[in-house]
Amino acid sequence: MNIVITGATGFVGQALCRYWHEQGHTLMVVSRQSDKAQATIRVPVMARSSAIDFADQSVGAIVNLAGEPIFNRRWSEAQKKKLIDSRLKATHDVGELCQRLATPPARLISGSAMGYYGDQGSREVTEQTSPHKEFAHRLCREWEEAAQQLATDQMQVACLRIGLVLDRDGGMLKPMRPMFRLGLGGRLGKGRQYMPWVHRHDLVRIIDFLLQRDDISGAWNAGAPAPVTNAKFTRTLAASLNRPAPFVMPGSVVSLALGEMSQLLLTGARMVPARLEAAGFRFEYPTLEKALTAIERRAA
C-alpha cells in the first residue's frame, strides 16, 4: 500500500516507517527537511516538504502525526497558539491532499493524546468518558475536530488518543533513565495521578491494526490496558534499573517551574483501550513491568 505519513521523522513515526517497510509498503513522508528524512528514518522513503506535494501519487492511507512537541517550552499564550496551529495546519494540508487526489485514500489515522480527557482523578476512562475542560483538552479536541471534518463516504477517520510512549531512545524515558540510573529518581507531587502509557512497538501495531480494518471511525484510546499511578511508575522504573527512587518533587515546585504545563505531570487519566480490546487487539506489552523489562533488555 502507498501510505503518506506526517511526523514520520519523530519518535513514533520512525518506528512506524521501519515496521511498514518490512511489510513492503511504499512510504511517502512529509518532512520540512525532506532531503534528510531518509537518513533519519533509515529505510527507503519518498520524502517531500508538504503533504500536498503527493497529489500526483496514488495514496491508499494517511497517518497524520505532525505537531509542535508539547513539552518544548513553557506554555505562554503564544506557545499555546503554536501548539494548536501546528496541528491544524498539518491536518489542513492532509485535507488539501485528499481533495486533489484522483481517488481519495480509504483511511486517515490522525494523532491525538490522552490530554483530551484532562484531569480525571482515579476513575476509569474509556472513549465515552466526558472530558475535563482545560488547555490539553482544547488542544486535542480542536485537532480531532479538524481531522473528523475530513471524513467522507470514501474515507474513514480514526483519532488516536495516545498515552505516554515508552522506548529506550526517545519519549519520556530518554531524559528519565539517566536520572533513575544514578538513583536520583522520584515521584512527582503525591504520585496519585495516573499515567496512561504504551510501549512504542504496541503503538505501531495499533496503527497497523487500524490500517487493516474497515470500521475505524471515531476516537480510539491508544494506551496499554494497565495504566499506573506516578508513584507506581516511579517504583517500577527504578526496580527495572535496580536502583532506589527515594526523592519527591513537590507539586508546588513543578508548578512554579512549568506553570500551566505542570498539569500534564501532576494530573492524569486512568485511560483504558476499551475499543481496541473490544475489536480484538492484543498487547504484546500489557503491563509496565513487561514493557520496561523488554526495554532494558534491548538497552543492555
- What pLDDT, in 10s, does the model give residues 234-288? 999 999 999 999 999 999 998 988 898 888 889 999 999 999 999 999 999 999 9
Rounded-to-integer distance, Cα 27 and Cα 249, Å: 43
Q: Supply the pLDDT for residue 299.
A: 61
What pTM was estimated for this model as a whole?
0.96
Q: Supply the pLDDT for residue 261.
A: 86
| Cα–Cα nearest to 45, from 20, 64, 63 | 20
Rounded-to-integer distance, Cα 196 and Cα 293, Å: 18
One-letter amino acid identity for 100?
R
CA 69 centroid distance within chain: 11
- 56: pLDDT confidence band, cut at 50, 70 and 90? very high
- 72: pLDDT confidence band, cut at 50, 70 and 90? confident
Is residue 142 predicted with pLDDT exceeding 70?
yes
- 194: pLDDT confidence band, cut at 50, 70 and 90? very high
Is residue 124 predicted with pLDDT exceeding 80?
yes
